Amino acid sequence: IATCPSFFGMLRIVLLGKTGVGKSATGNTILRREAFTSTIAAGSVTRECKKEITEINRRQITVIDTPGLFDTEVDNDEIRKEIVKCVSMAAPGPHVFLLVVQLGRFTKEEKDAVKIIQETFGDKSRMYTMVLFTRGDDLTGKSVEDYFKGKGSLENFIHQCGKRYHVFNNKDTKDQTQVSELLDKIDCMVTVNGGSFYTNEMFQDLCSNTLLHPDINNDKHQMCVVFYTSVGRAQ
């Protein structure tokens, strides 16, 4: 991995992805404690966005866990309305959207989850997106790059996210090297982005046309209303 100047300010991380991929477990690994409820279940354990803060090497790290897409009990449009609250919860805005994907088959549901997230936060969100693969223990000695080979849709997905990715083994929570390496990669991305982050204004730009024409996309209109309400509460 090429080295780059590090960003040493506080970090704000949002965890996104499909239900059951290990978002909450990932948050717990970063935080070094059982802050988010994590269990094996058919539906999402996380129903609302939840924020936790820790300190690593004298730096404040904020982690926001979000409900998973493709929940068996909740419609995706309802989940999106909850997910958008993460922007105001991470005020003044998240440095990184950590897209959590489980190593294994990269199915249509995974592709659709990524598409929904990108549609929710817009094209600018790609600058602030990194992929985090869970179940790194399943690689059994192979590199993650070997795992990508021959999987065109997965390689394309990684390319869309600026070729930024990391692998976690959430079973080995005592291995803090994987956390340090993740934070280094996020720091590098933030440095490349000039220290910037995804802002309320970026999401408001997406909403401006939708609010003027609610009949065109009623679901997105409702999502924007929820966002503005959450911004008001955060202020």
**What is the pLDDT, as a whole number, of residue 235?**
54
Beta bridge partners of 179: none
Domain count, the chain: 1
What confidence tens digit (pLDDT) does each residue in 52-71 have?
999 999 999 999 999 999 98
Residues of the chain with pLDDT under 50: 1, 41-43
**What is the pLDDT, as a whole number, of residue 41?**
46
Do residues 89 and 95 touch, judged by C-beta distance below 8 A? no
- What residue numbers bound the domain in which 66 lies? 11-234
**What is the pLDDT, as a whole number, of residue 151?**
79
Quick check: is 3 in a domain?
no
**What is the pLDDT, as a whole number, of residue 42?**
43
CATH of the domain at 101: 3.40.50.300
Quick check: is 214 in a domain?
yes
Quick check: is 1 in a domain?
no
**What is the pLDDT, as a whole number, of residue 210?**
66
Do residues 101 and 65 touch, judged by C-beta distance below 8 A? no
Quick check: is 190 in a domain?
yes
**What is the pLDDT, as a whole number, of residue 146?**
86
**What is the pLDDT, as a whole number, of residue 5?**
64
Quick check: is 198 in a domain?
yes
Task: Kindly report whether the global pTM for this prediction surpasses the value 0.85.
Answer: yes
